[in-house]
Structure 1
Amino acid sequence: MERCEASVEAAVNYNVYTPQSAWNSDDDDPLYRFTTRLAVAGISTYPEERAGDTYEVTIYGDNLGSGDIRATLKDVQARDEHGSPQYRSYRGPDIV
């Protein structure tokens, strides 16, 4: 193995805090986003006919979660006294 890289990211869904992105959101989209990446690179030594060949393998994982972190955008949307979704204006049109 010549190189190994790993990264893990956990973030709030950008549609929650970026109004211009709200048009692309779905009420059932996750509130939190999780991404995992593992990359391994190296040079083969065996079998002899493949000695010197290079390789790189990348594995991705997405939205791994459990328990209370499975909330959706719909779960945290502001509601009025009747339980209806509230909207706000952003440069004219109403958005969630």
Structure 2
Amino acid sequence: IVDWASTDDTVAIARAAGATVIQTDDWPGFGPQKNRAVDAATGDWILSLDADERVTPALRDEILGHLKRADAHALALPRLSAFCGTFVRHAGWYPD
């Protein structure tokens, strides 16, 4: 997890769950901040999520199934966005 200036318990919760936490002192912008996380990654795969995104158990199982395939090189995920508690499946918002 790359964290910049959070004021809640994000860092403590992440560390308690076993995550590596990188705290930054500056905000270089969205892209450069994401690249910091990519540069620090040590695994073969990267799944980049924002704080307001989640992986459902079904998606987790699907991802793990794809990763077991010898020909797996990339995976596209059709995101389903929510607005005011309602999933948006029109106006170009799905798949996002």
TM range (shorter): under 0.3
Computing the radius of gyration from Cα coordinates, the structure with the larger value is 1
TM (normalized to structure 1)? 0.18
Instruction: Report the structure, 1 or 2, having the larger helix content.
Output: 2
Which structure exhibits the higher relative contact order, with contacts defined as CA atoms closer than 8 Å and separated by 6 or more residues?
A: 1
